[in-house]
Amino acid sequence: MAITYSDIAGMIDHSLLHPALTDDQLIEGCETALQYRTASVCIKPYALPFAVSVLSGSPVKIGTVVSFPHGNCDTVVKEAEAEQAIADGAQEIDMVINVGKALGGNWDFIEYEVMTIWQLAKESGVLLKVIFENDFLGEEEIIELCKICSSLEVPYVKTSTGYGFVKQPNGFYAYKGATLMDLELMKEFVTPPTKIKAAGGIKTLDDVLLMRSLGVSRVGTTSTTAILGELRTRLENNTL
């Protein structure tokens, strides 16, 4: 079956999370999401009212983040953040897990944390995506997180924040983001109805098409204009 514009645009969460984005840039980003008919925007929490003012009544969902980007807040703080986000109009929430607890094998803590935020989101009709931050994790942790989230029937698990910089042997910091190896591993151990969101380093249409071929349902990107502009061109020229 041929790929349509809505197939790809409907995968994209237009990311508006960079700490240096100004209010004007956040509003412009919401307008871009509306223009390109993306699945959602994922905007900084304080800016939810901006997103509501631009996107209310449109098919573009309004999303935000909780305990972003490091996931270190206490569960009660994450819960309070989620409550405030919902009150401010969030329809989707991307929550970062406590990475240290995962690396320490404290799975009861992780399950309780995810369950707490998921229950709150579910009661409010809000979609939850659980961010693992795979750059910090090994296969064992990724597999266990997939199993926990699948057992709780969380709507989405997500690879990365895009800001999970890991110190390298040379002392510099870098991150890989959504890698094929991690996505294949997540696909193997995630069970329906839980789906996968990829984020981190997704910059081109071919990146998105590859994610789609791997079974990814959503992608987070700041490169929406370039990706969907190229998609329109390739569809017009029958070169997709």
The catalytic residue among 13, 94, 135, 182 is 94
158 given a catalytic annotation? yes
Strands 173-174 and 166-167 turn out to be antiparallel
Backbone angles phi, psi at 201, to 5 degrees: 85, 10
Q: Which tokens sit at 142?
A: 């990724």
The catalytic residue among 13, 129, 158, 182 is 158
How many CB atoms are closer than 10 A to CB 95?
A: 28
13 to 38, 62, 94, 206: CA distances (angstroms):
7, 9, 11, 16
- Rounded to the nearest 10°, the torsion over CA 186, 191, 193, 194 is -30
The catalytic residue among 44, 61, 78, 197 is 197
Q: Which residues fall within 8 angstroms of residue 228, CB to CB, at 6 or more apart?
A: 5, 8, 9, 12, 36, 38, 205
197 given a catalytic annotation? yes
Q: What's the CA gap between 209 and 63, in Å, rounded?
A: 23
Catalytic residue set: 94, 158, 197
